Amino acid sequence: MANPLQPKVIQCLETEYNAFVINITAASKSGNMDVIASINGLFYGFEIKWKTDTPSMLQKQKINALTAAGGRGYFVRSVEQLRKILNNDLPSEQYDLSSNIML
């Protein structure tokens, strides 16, 4: 089943944050973020998680790589969480991949 949160996240990014958004399709390379966006010159990657979906190790690696390259990456479970991230300029998530624990 398609993730019903994804179009809501995209709409929020475009209408409330004037973001340039690219929606990654199912044919995308494994581990790539669901949505990438440019907001005020910053590069963001969002992995949209619905219900009990959990991030894979590969997705955590991609978030870490994005952050290391100067971008910002997040797992998002609601539009409200997205707004909190963007309105409060919260730092990108970083994962300790050796122990599978978020720093």
CB 61 within 8 A of CB 98: no
- Answer whether residue 100 shows pLDDT above 60: no
H/E stretch holding 84 reads helix 79-87
Q: For 53, which DSSP code?
A: -
From CA 92, how far away is CA 103, in angstroms rounded?
A: 10
CB atoms within 10 A of CB 85: 18
pTM for the full model? 0.85
Q: What pLDDT, in 10s, does the model give residues 53-94?
A: 888 899 999 999 999 999 999 999 999 999 999 999 888 888
Domains and CATH numbers, the chain: 5-88 (3.40.1350.10)
**10 alpha-carbon distance from chain centroid:** 11
Q: Which residues pair with 36 in a beta bridge?
A: 22, 45
